Chain A
């Protein structure tokens, strides 16, 4: 146990950074994730299949390609990156925020998919009933739809978090592997495997990865069960 917790400062940084990056990626993906899931599940508009394809693209593309595209777009000299830097002072390249962006983009399809499925499972007749009782569409969403899709949202968030914790290819391509700034757990493990005598550190971080992943899974189970009990859907 002592051996496991006896981490070097860089290793600690990698653990903390990974959790921070994954949490930020998950929280910031959530609102657009719900919106796009709603659009895909219920919207009728031209270009719906294009949007669907775009959302799923990071799932099919090699992560390195996604990372490179992010670098081209959000890098210091990329169109979006330059704009954000000049007007808002937000910089992504070689910062932990860039790692969060890369993780968020990579995990986005999983989040959207889980939420979309739960929206499609909602009995729309319940929403119609709420409407006849005087609830306008916004109230119907807040009081009927949202509570009913909560299990899907939780599942999506956990998937998103887990994917973000493990993201490697796009992150390392976009923001490199800087200890203390962009070196997440997978990057740190990769670095250990590249140097002689790094086996022990790699194994330590691997075990920590497993523990965090299991904890996330258990947390999602507990939350889903609690929500499920509250919902008690027939």
Chain B
């Protein structure tokens, strides 16, 4: 499945001029509010008609203003999960779920009722009315409703934004399962680095209606300059690592990849499984000598690939660990004190307890469990 977008659209004083192409299983449209993310998904979903441009999904032309093509939204077969769920208030949950299914030609219904209900855990809600559901339940039903229409693509517009942290944690595993088990490509709008790092295989960074960058999540999140200033520390390395060993006594797992070995606590995945690990730039300590007598379990040797001084008090350091890059955000003072410069051998030190919200890798054939790694740092 590929999605290619190349459109120009004007909305009052705001202008959107964006082109990107993605083959990702879950492509995040990332950017601050007002960057044009929602307009972009509305254009893909057919809720907006672009001034000019072309949108092609899986070889099917949805919009081509030059050729006069505009497929109306009800013929696009694109599922849309809105930020505010938008369940029909005059119908029960089961009627909501049947709605999209009813309009799908029988031959094209691939979504099996029972497995969708199971996937989202909404079997006990079927006879309820939308207004008696919690925010998280509403959002799960909305995902189910979109899914049961057997869409060729799913759009999600900040589906977690209106939920509190607990509800977010409740929904995330379902979105991961959707991504990994159904094979329907997803376009996911978000302004949260944490969500994107955990869910997205690919990302498109939007800034004031323009595409600032696009590519695999692991590469884009390394570029801290793309992230909003207050969230730069949230960026960092996203690594797919294999579970190589497990220590039952301490509940520790050992993960390995080119960067070396890291140790995490409370990971519920069997040896051999692949998991995705996010090492946030602000959680990385940079040392010029191998530290000793330190509680941090993860000490990864590497070389400085680059040091970027912003206009603030911080320095963003890229460390090349055997080909993979780990980013560290430290103070400008520390960087100067240590005399950090390209090619200097250093050690990246990461506390094990900082591995939160990392998740299972998108790697195909992964049999990793869908539990989150560890807990929130307390």
Which residues of A pack against B, CB within 8 Å?
123, 125-126, 128-137, 139-140, 143-144, 147-148, 230-234
Contact among A131, A147, A148, A233 for B74, CB-based, below 8 A: A131
Q: CA–CA, A131 to B88, complex, Å?
A: 12
Q: Are B129 and A132 in contact (CB under 8 A)?
A: no
A131-B46, A139-B103 given; name 15 further pairs at CB < 8 Å: A125-B82, A126-B89, A129-B80, A130-B88, A130-B99, A132-B73, A132-B74, A132-B76, A132-B80, A134-B104, A136-B74, A147-B90, A231-B89, A233-B89, A234-B89
**Chain B residues, CB < 8 A from A128:** 47, 73, 86
**Chain B residues, CB < 8 A from A135:** 74, 99, 103
Q: CA–CA, A128 to B90, complex, Å?
A: 16
Q: CA–CA, A228 to B45, complex, Å?
A: 32
In B55-78, the 8 Å CB interface with A consists of: 72-78
User: Smallest CB-CB separation from B132: which chain A residue?
Assistant: A232
A-B contact pairs, 30 of them (CB 8 A): A123-B86, A125-B84, A126-B88, A128-B47, A128-B86, A129-B82, A129-B88, A130-B88, A130-B99, A131-B47, A131-B73, A132-B74, A132-B79, A132-B80, A133-B79, A133-B103, A133-B145, A134-B100, A134-B102, A134-B103, A134-B149, A135-B99, A136-B74, A147-B90, A231-B90, A232-B90, A232-B129, A234-B89, A234-B130, A234-B131
**Chain B residues, CB < 8 A from A139:** 103
B220 interface residue per 8 A CB criterion: no
Q: CA–CA, A41 to B358, complex, Å?
A: 49
Q: CA–CA, A132 to B187, complex, Å?
A: 15
Min CB–CB distance B185 → chain A (angstroms): 16
**Chain A residues, CB < 8 A from B77:** 134
Q: How many residues of B contact A (CB 8 A)?
A: 29
B197 interface residue per 8 A CB criterion: no
Q: CA–CA, A132 to B152, complex, Å?
A: 12
Given contacts A125-B84, A129-B80, A129-B82, contact A134 B90 (CB under 8 A): no
**Chain A residues, CB < 8 A from B76:** 132
Q: CA–CA, A29 to B45, complex, Å?
A: 38
Given contacts A133-B103, A232-B129, A232-B131, contact A144 B73 (CB under 8 A): no
B238 interface residue per 8 A CB criterion: no
The DSSP consensus for interface residues of chain A is helix
B146 interface residue per 8 A CB criterion: yes
Min CB–CB distance A180 → chain B (angstroms): 45
Q: Are A232 and B100 in contact (CB under 8 A)?
A: no
**Chain B residues, CB < 8 A from A137:** 74
Q: CA–CA, A148 to B86, complex, Å?
A: 14
Min CB–CB distance B173 → chain A (angstroms): 24
Contact among A125, A134, A232 for B86, CB-based, below 8 A: A125
In B120-144, the 8 Å CB interface with A consists of: 129-131
User: Smallest CB-CB separation from A140: which chain B residue?
Assistant: B74
Given contacts A128-B47, A232-B131, A234-B131, contact A133 B86 (CB under 8 A): no
Q: CA–CA, A232 to B90, complex, Å?
A: 7
Q: Are A232 and B82 in contact (CB under 8 A)?
A: no
Q: Are B129 and A133 in contact (CB under 8 A)?
A: no
- Report the 9 A-B pairs with minimum CB-CB distance, sorted nearest first: A134-B103, A133-B100, A132-B80, A129-B86, A131-B73, A234-B131, A231-B90, A147-B90, A233-B89
Q: CA–CA, A200 to B100, complex, Å?
A: 63
**Chain A residues, CB < 8 A from B146:** 132-133
Min CB–CB distance B156 → chain A (angstroms): 12
**Chain B residues, CB < 8 A from A125:** 82, 84, 86
User: Smallest CB-CB separation from A132: which chain B residue?
Assistant: B80
Min CB–CB distance B229 → chain A (angstroms): 33
User: Smallest CB-CB separation from B149: which chain A residue?
Assistant: A133
Contact among A132, A147, A148, A231 for B78, CB-based, below 8 A: A132
Min CB–CB distance A116 → chain B (angstroms): 20
**Chain B residues, CB < 8 A from A231:** 89-90
Min CB–CB distance A126 → chain B (angstroms): 6
**Chain B residues, CB < 8 A from A126:** 86, 88-89
Given contacts A132-B79, A133-B99, contact A144 B88 (CB under 8 A): yes
Q: CA–CA, A232 to B133, complex, Å?
A: 13
